[in-house]
């Protein structure tokens, strides 16, 4: 069965998930959440400089959907910057092309195919790995396989 709500294609999970204004006590901080698809829209259009049409094709969504997505992302970021919110990147209905694993022992960052699971660092053999897509998988379920 095909989901009517298509998953948005995202190249890799974000390397950084959490941004905090400095010098604000934690009890005064409120959180604003940018979804991973909103992050990808920012990365493609603002960071890579793609036109909305090209970026929408990258993400497998329509151009109007892309424009709505990036407008929402810009609004959230403007609120975080202006009101001093903690910004967290998580969630969204996404499929990653690639995953990233960070080794906490040697610091190596490895990129793999999204479906490839690695259990030890290719450089030093450590099993102390951080699975970047896993942050999102845990909350939102495993990637669907046809
Ligand atoms: Zn390592």
pLDDT of 2 > 80? The answer is no
**What is the per-residue pLDDT for 141?**
47
Span from the CA of 102 to the centroid of ligand 1 (angstroms): 8
Q: Which long-range contacts (CB under 8 A, 24 or more apart) does 97-100 make?
A: 97/9, 97/10, 97/11, 97/12, 98/11, 98/12, 99/12, 99/13, 99/131, 99/132, 99/133, 100/12, 100/13, 100/15, 100/132, 100/133
Q: Which long-range contacts (CB under 8 A, 24 or more apart) does 56-62 make?
A: 58/9, 58/11, 59/8, 59/9, 59/10, 60/6, 60/7, 60/8, 60/9, 61/6, 61/8
**What is the per-residue pLDDT for 138?**
53
pLDDT digits (tens, 9 = 90+) for 25-48: 888 899 999 999 999 999 999 999
Span from the CA of 29 to the centroid of ligand 1 (angstroms): 34
pLDDT digits (tens, 9 = 90+) for 53-66: 999 999 999 999 99
Q: For residue 5, what pLDDT band results from cuts at 50, 70 and 90? A: low
Q: Which is more confident, 12 or 134?
A: 12
Ligand 1 (ion): which residues have CB within 5 A? 103, 105-106, 108, 121, 123-124, 126
**What is the per-residue pLDDT for 145?**
43
**What is the per-residue pLDDT for 134?**
83
Least confident window among 4-8, 20-24, 139-143: 139-143
Span from the CA of 48 to the centroid of ligand 1 (angstroms): 30
pLDDT digits (tens, 9 = 90+) for 75-126: 999 999 999 999 999 998 899 999 999 999 999 999 999 988 889 999 999 9
Q: Which is more confident, 143 or 109?
A: 109
Span from the CA of 123 to the centroid of ligand 1 (angstroms): 5
């Amino acid at each position: 069965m095909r989901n009517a709500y298509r998953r948005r294609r995202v190249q890799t999970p974000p390397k950084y998930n959490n941004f905090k204004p400095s010098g604000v006590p934690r009890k005064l901080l409120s959180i604003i959440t940018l979804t991973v698809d909103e992050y990808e829209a920012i990365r493609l259009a603002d960071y890579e400089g793609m036109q909305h049409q090209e970026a929408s094709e990258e993400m497998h969504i329509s151009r109007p959907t892309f424009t709505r997505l990036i407008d929402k992302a810009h609004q959230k970021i403007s609120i975080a910057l202006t009101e001093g919110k903690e910004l967290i990147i998580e969630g969204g209905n996404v499929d990653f092309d690639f995953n990233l694993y960070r080794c906490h022992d040697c610091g190596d960052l490895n990129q793999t195919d999204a479906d490839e699971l690695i259990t030890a660092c290719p450089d030093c053999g450590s099993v102390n790995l951080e699975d970047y897509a896993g942050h999102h998988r845990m909350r939102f379920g495993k990637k669907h396989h046809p």
